Amino acid sequence: MKRIALGMLVASFAASAAAAQGLTMGTMNGWTFTFSGNVNAFLVYTDPKCGGADAGLTRCDFNGSTIPTGTYEKVLRIRTGLAPAFAIFDAKGKEGDLDLGVHFGLAPEIQTPYQLHDNCGGNGGCGAQLDVREVYLTAGGSWGEVLAGRALGLYQGENLLTDMTVYGFGLSGGGSGWYGNGNGISLGHVGTGYSYPNFNSQMTYSTSSSKPGVFSIGLFDPSIIYSGGESFPGTHSPRLEASFVWTKHTGASGSADKLMLYASGLLASVKHDNPGLNQKGTASPYGLAGGVEWNGGGFQVDGSGFWQSGVGMTLMFDDGSATDPAGNMRKSYGFLLQGQYMFKSAKWKVGASYGVNHLDETSYDTSPLACDGPCDFVKYNSALVLSGTYMWTKSLRWVLEYTYGNSASWDGVKITSNQGALGMMLFF
């Protein structure tokens, strides 16, 4: 299965009306070299507010919220969107009966951390962050394809790829000023509709993409669980992830009309080499996710969801919510619903989406040993996004977004955010 550029995100871009072809060159030995990518920039205004039971500066930024508060978070900034800028290098060739390829995906951002201009002087070097997201090789044939290297994970990968804010901004995720760093991409609907699948070292096999249904299964470099104190810092075996994507094209050849069904799963095993008193020494995180997408007559409708244990809420395994202090796995679940319409002129596209992630307490969380009352960690995060996109040319688009975010903790604190974003995205 071809998983190219931004872990298939740029493959999604290439299928859109706004994508360009990139630069492709051939060589004497039959190999081809392709350079493609995108650059984007968004002017973003964020206005968070905190309230509820005992709300104060020390309680508002509770663990797991996707809407950090504070005077430095009410700000107007110029930042990278959910998809970073991308410089994508591909080389492909055929040797014997094998289709071979290598891929490099370099993902720079435009803003510097801590608003330090060129960021020189001991804060990560000069300039903005460069994220080496993808480095992998592929070998395939009629029997399928093997991918080895660093690429987007299989579990909840399609949940991310079908999110309309891939072409926009969504929630900022905080970090707008000095105290919050402000580095990295925006959240889109990450944490408010699905958990971020991450880019991971992996060895993955996929069946042939020539058939409507493609099954993929892979071993992934093991991840620790960080939960406010490295609950399980030791891992001794790879994580297993799998996915199945079935696509039926329903329109004329070359049209975007289709029906797509997808599902994915995750199973892992982690250990604590030196567990404390009353703390579990092992955990077995697992998760299931899936969704459906329909395109027809200019409309696109998506629905997806997930249910998982020991994985977390926003960032898988390392957002501090996967387990309680005793090492018991917390369950989380969520969904994302969205609809989009492309006008017949193919110049304007409008869309609306709503998503929510919910985190359950464990029996330990509700005991006096844990919080001595209601716990000040996240109960749910949700976001409503309204967008309008103008296709200025086939490669350049303007994006206008409004995002309303809502987050609550188990001790009754609530945070809301009104956010506007105006951006440009150029694909080549």
Q: What is the pLDDT along the chain (428 residues), one digit of tens a residue?
A: 434 344 434 343 433 433 456 778 877 678 999 999 999 999 999 998 887 655 444 567 788 888 877 666 788 889 899 998 999 999 999 999 999 999 999 998 888 766 666 656 555 556 677 788 999 999 999 999 999 999 999 999 999 999 999 999 999 876 544 445 556 789 999 999 999 998 999 999 999 999 999 999 999 998 888 776 557 776 778 899 999 999 998 877 777 889 999 999 999 988 877 766 667 778 899 999 999 999 999 999 999 999 999 999 998 988 888 988 888 899 999 999 999 999 998 899 999 999 999 999 988 888 876 765 567 889 999 999 999 999 999 999 999 999 999 999 988 889 999 999 999 999 99
Asked if 310 contacts 216 with a C-beta cutoff of 8 angstroms, the reply is no
Q: Note the pLDDT of residue 223.
A: 84
384 forms bridges with which residues in the sheet? 354, 404
Q: Which two tokens stand for residue 403?
A: 């995002």
Q: Note the pLDDT of residue 2.
A: 39
* CATH topology (fold) of 43-81+135-427: Porin (2.40.160)
Residue 223 CA to residue 219 CA, distance in Å, equals 12
Task: Phi first, then psi: give them for residue 211, nearest 5 degrees.
Answer: -105, 155
Q: Which two tokens stand for residue 52?
A: 């509820």
Residue 181 CA to residue 200 CA, distance in Å, equals 24
Residue 200 CA to residue 180 CA, distance in Å, equals 25
Q: Note the pLDDT of residue 341.
A: 97
> Within 10 A of 418 (CB to CB), how many other CB atoms are there?
13
| 3-state SS, residue 247 | strand
Alpha helices in 333-400 (DSSP H): none
Q: Which two tokens stand for residue 386?
A: 């309204």
- Tell me which residue has tokens 């030196």: 274
Residue 385 CA to residue 402 CA, distance in Å, equals 6
Residue 151 CA to residue 203 CA, distance in Å, equals 10
Distance of CA 139 to the CA centre of its chain: 26
Name which of 15, 206, 187, 3 is nearest 103 in CA terms: 3
Tell me which H or E stretch contains 59: helix 57-60
Residue 62 CA to residue 374 CA, distance in Å, equals 12
CA distances from 107 to 2, 87, 127 (A): 19, 6, 13
DSSP state of 324: -
Q: Note the pLDDT of residue 144.
A: 96
Distance of CA 176 to the CA centre of its chain: 19
> Within 10 A of 178 (CB to CB), how many other CB atoms are there?
12
389 forms bridges with which residues in the sheet? 349, 399
| 3-state SS, residue 341 | strand
- Tell me which residue has tokens 């991310």: 160
